[in-house]
Structure 1
Amino acid sequence: MLVSASNSWRNSIVPSCLVSKARRELGLFLCQLRSGPKNVTQILEATGMGQANVSKHLKILTQAGIVSRQPKGVSVYYQIADPMCFELCEMVCRQLVSRLQQQARQLEPLAAIHPGQPS
């Protein structure tokens, strides 16, 4: 049952979660928090997202208990509240790599038809 539920989650939820560019960028940001807490300026620089968008996502992630916030002086630092988040990030990354490799294999016949084209 666990394998079935895992496959269902992977096949339906993961792709829909990654449709949004903002969610993909935020996912990368969450993985970057592995090195420790970051303030909003660092998050903005790491993701390339706008401040309003980052603030909205941080609020949602904080309310969900995924991210915690720690005021320090005039800044607020955010960090992962639940380390299981990193396991999810790794699972999603492995799934993306697998899908991209599969797509690359499917495109190989086209490369044979159009040799010399940039890959």
Structure 2
Amino acid sequence: MKKEASLNTTAICKTRIGAIKDTMEILSGKWKIHILGTLMQSEKMRFMDLLREVDGIAAKMLSKELQDMEMNHLIRRTVLDTKPITVEYEVTEYGKTLERIIDEIAQWGIEYRKSIYEMSE
């Protein structure tokens, strides 16, 4: 019986670790969570608006990150029939499932900054 419980725990652990690995791969890098958080504050944003809002990101990197997130169904890219062509980005319903996690990360960061500030006084 003990061996069977151990095998079940190992399988659950491997599934959990695999899911964490997948999540980290999808959200990896310096910019994806920042971009998603920015997009979640607006319904839709154009490329240049995102470039201005995501402080420090290069246009080429923003383009790459947006492509990755679109491929993973976190954001939607819409090309509008305007002159010049306008492209808008928005978080998909699936991407919105990350909102609670991103809010928690933001809250943790606020508390972390506060604790560091208090330690330096």
Under TM normalisation by the shorter chain, which class is it? 0.5 to 0.7
Pairwise CA RMSD: 3.7
Query: What is aligned with 2:32?
Result: 23
Q: TM-score when scaled to structure 1?
A: 0.59
State yes or no: 1:57 paired with 2:65. Answer: yes
State yes or no: 1:71 paired with 2:82. Answer: no
Tell me the number of residue pairs that the alignment of Structure 1 and Structure 2 aligns.
101
Structure 2: tracts of 5 or more residues without a match: 1-11
Query: Contact 2:75/2:95 (CA < 8 Å) preserved in 1?
Result: no
The structure that has the greater radius of gyration is 2
State yes or no: 1:42 paired with 2:52. Answer: no
Q: TM-score when scaled to structure 2?
A: 0.58
Superposition deviation, residue 69 in structure 1? 1.5
Query: Contact 1:68/1:79 (CA < 8 Å) preserved in 2?
Result: yes
> Structure 1 CA distance, aligned partners of 2:25 and 2:53?
23
State yes or no: 1:89 paired with 2:102. Answer: no
Do the aligned partners of residues 19 and 101 (structure 1) sit closer, same or farther apart at CA in structure 2, a change above 3 Å counting?
farther
> Structure 2 CA distance, aligned partners of 1:57 and 1:76?
15
Partner AA of 1:62 in structure 2: E
Query: Contact 1:39/1:76 (CA < 8 Å) preserved in 2?
Result: yes
Q: Counterpart of 1:36 in 2: which secondary structure?
A: coil
Do the aligned partners of residues 90 and 69 (structure 1) sit closer, same or farther apart at CA in structure 2, a change above 3 Å counting?
same
Residues 27-59 of structure 1: CA distance to partner in whole angstroms, max 9, x if unpaired? 322323xx3221101110111221101100111
Query: Contact 2:35/2:50 (CA < 8 Å) preserved in 1?
Result: no
Superposition deviation, residue 16 in structure 1? 8.3
Superposition deviation, residue 64 in structure 1? 1.6
Query: Contact 1:28/1:47 (CA < 8 Å) preserved in 2?
Result: no
Superposition deviation, residue 63 in structure 1? 1.6
Partner AA of 1:38 in structure 2: M
